[in-house]
Amino acid sequence: MVQIERNPTREVKIGSITIGGTHPIAVQSMTATKTTDIDSTVGLVTLMHEAGADVVRIAVDSKKDAEALAEIRQQTTANLSVDLQENYRLVALVAPHVDKVRYNPGHLYHHERDKQWQEKVQLIAETAREHDCAIRVGVNCGSVDPIQKAKYDPTDSITPMLESALDHCHFLESIQFERFCVSLKDSDPAKVVEVNQRFADQRNDIPLHLGVTEAGMPPDGIIKTRIAFEQLVGRGIGDTVRVSLTVPNAEKGLEIQAGREILNDIHNGRVRSVVDLNQSGINIISCPSCSRVENEAFVELAQKVKKMTAYAAQHAITIAVMGCRVNGPGETDDADLGLWCGPKYVNLKKGTLALGAFGYDEILGRLKTELDQLIIEKKC
Ligand code: SF4
């Protein structure tokens, strides 16, 4: 067993577990069913709980989702976390039923734009306090606080994430709310390592939740995540983790299994030392899907994209495949080619340029045309 000196993070209780300090690193996952489909969601929560998930996260976007959550709570003893995306005010409806609330600083700008984010966070924190919930400040590369983003060079995607997280920590502490952790996620493992390392250099007392967003399908998705976790956990950084994989719901237990295997390997010294993070071949990133997925065909589409693009394996091109309109448009911006799914059409982008919406049966052909063109243009 390797002795890793963990950062002296503060303890944060989430339902029946505690993260931080010397507590074991927790492994989490997230449901991908429609939250209003109570039976399927309870089924998936149970599957993850039985696979060993310490916390299971559920997305809530509407009052109907919040009502369903109350019922889901009755049917499981799993520690539940809820993902507040656009509508922070739903916190009042969900906090009574969960153990942790996650908010994204960038998403606080979507509603009630005339209100300061501090006022919104205060409401979230007061409600969490009242209902014995922890908070996660979930900063994501694809949806960074626009004010922070405007302050820095557009090529610097890391500093705005970092500053946004530090600002929120400072504000939560100023209102005497300390029961929180932070996550700083990107689809690029190298950026995940850098931003978390820089955060931990400044705030080694705050528990970190680690993850690589849109890691994609196994085995590549597990490898990308392993690269980041090895370098962070090996340096004592990280109190809770999630391995985000694009897999069908019935296989979601794999996220937990992969998380535990990576952590076990690190603690037993089975690491692939000095990992080269420079991208040399094609990189397919795809979101793990969640209740917001717009069309059930998403996972299959991601698998087909991987298969169809195999011929371009040696070209350094990034293709992103996202499941919905909430995060799809933003999270595809940094990819060479991006696809995000609507109910009937798949939207195709080349960098930040929208190329149009295509039927699920036409998209692969159009993607191939764009990929061939890009290979010529980039001469890569
Ligand atoms: S891109 Fe959309 S569907 Fe995919 S995980 Fe993110 S929110 Fe869920």
Q: Which atom of ligand 1 is nearest to the CA of 340?
A: 1
Amino acid letter, 144: V
227 & 335 share domain:
no
Residue 236's domain is classified under what CATH number? 3.20.20.20
CB 366 within 8 A of CB 338: no
The predicted model scores a pTM of 0.85
Q: How remote is the CA of residue 213 from the centroid of ligand 1, in Å?
A: 10
Probe target for ligand 1 pocket from 35, 214, 326, with the most ligand atoms within 8 Å of CB: 326
Query: Span 93-109, mean pLDDT?
Result: 96
105 & 211 share domain:
yes
Note the pLDDT of residue 7. Answer: 97
- Looking at 233, 267, 301, which one is the last position of a domain? 267
Kindly state the percentage of the chain with pLDDT values over 70: 97
Q: How remote is the CA of residue 205 from the centroid of ligand 1, in Å?
A: 30
- Looking at 267, 296, 316, which one is the last position of a domain? 267
For residue range 318-340, what is the model confidence (pLDDT) as tens digits? Answer: 999 999 988 888 888 888 999 99
Q: How remote is the CA of residue 340 from the centroid of ligand 1, in Å?
A: 9
Structural domain includes residue 274? no
- Whether the predicted pLDDT of 289 surpasses 90: no
Q: How remote is the CA of residue 115 from the centroid of ligand 1, in Å?
A: 26
373 & 257 share domain:
no
Q: How remote is the CA of residue 314 from the centroid of ligand 1, in Å?
A: 28
Note the pLDDT of residue 279. Answer: 53
Probe target for ligand 1 pocket from 187, 246, 289, 332, with the most ligand atoms within 8 Å of CB: 289
Number of domains present in the structure of the chain:
2
Confidence band of 276 (pLDDT split at 50, 70, 90): very low
Q: Which of 17-31, 189-203, 282-296, 354-368 has the lowest mean pLDDT?
A: 282-296
231 & 259 share domain:
yes
Confidence band of 275 (pLDDT split at 50, 70, 90): very low
Per the DSSP assignment, residues forming a β-bridge with 358 are 346
The protein residue with its alpha carbon nearest to ligand 1, atom 2, reads 324
Confidence band of 380 (pLDDT split at 50, 70, 90): low
Probe target for ligand 1 pocket from 65, 324, 339, with the most ligand atoms within 8 Å of CB: 324
The protein residue with its alpha carbon nearest to ligand 1, atom 5, reads 289
For residue range 46-77, what is the model confidence (pLDDT) as tens digits? Answer: 999 999 999 999 999 899 999 999 999 999 99
Kindly state the percentage of the chain with pLDDT values over 90: 79
Structural domain includes residue 19? yes
Structural domain includes residue 39? yes
Q: How remote is the CA of residue 294 from the centroid of ligand 1, in Å?
A: 9
Note the pLDDT of residue 34. Answer: 94
240 & 307 share domain:
no
Find the helix or strand (DSSP H, E) in which 26 lies.
strand 26-30
* Closest among 207, 191, 366, 204 to 283, alpha carbons compared: 191
- Looking at 212, 240, 267, which one is the last position of a domain? 267
93 & 235 share domain:
yes
135 & 252 share domain:
yes
Note the pLDDT of residue 281. Answer: 83
Cα 178-122-135 angle, rounded to 5 deg: 45
- Whether the predicted pLDDT of 189 surpasses 80: yes
Note the pLDDT of residue 310. Answer: 95
47 & 92 share domain:
yes
Structural domain includes residue 207? yes
The binding-site residues of ligand 1, defined as CB within 6 angstroms of any ligand atom, are 287-290, 292-293, 322-324, 326-328
Structural domain includes residue 7? no
Structural domain includes residue 278? no
Q: Which of 49-63, 93-107, 149-163, 276-290 has the lowest mean pLDDT?
A: 276-290
Give residue 124's domain range.
12-267
248 & 299 share domain:
no
Q: How remote is the CA of residue 341 from the centroid of ligand 1, in Å?
A: 10
Query: Span 201-205, mean pLDDT?
Result: 98
299 & 236 share domain:
no
- Whether the predicted pLDDT of 273 surpasses 60: no
Probe target for ligand 1 pocket from 293, 301, 341, with the most ligand atoms within 8 Å of CB: 293
Query: Span 238-247, mean pLDDT?
Result: 97
Tell which wins on pLDDT, 41 or 291.
41
Structural domain includes residue 373? yes
For residue range 117-171, what is the model confidence (pLDDT) as tens digits? Answer: 999 999 999 999 999 999 999 999 888 889 999 999 999 999 999 999 999 999 9
Q: Which atom of ligand 1 is nearest to the CA of 327?
A: 1
165 & 251 share domain:
yes
Residue 324's domain is classified under what CATH number? 3.30.413.10
326 & 229 share domain:
no
Buried b vs exposed e over 72-91: b needs ≥16 C-beta within 10 Å?
bbeebebbbbbbbbebbebb
Q: Which atom of ligand 1 is nearest to the CA of 214?
A: 5
Structural domain includes residue 1? no
CB 317 within 8 A of CB 374: yes
The protein residue with its alpha carbon nearest to ligand 1, atom 6, reads 327
Cα 227-229-194 angle, rounded to 5 deg: 80
Confidence band of 270 (pLDDT split at 50, 70, 90): confident
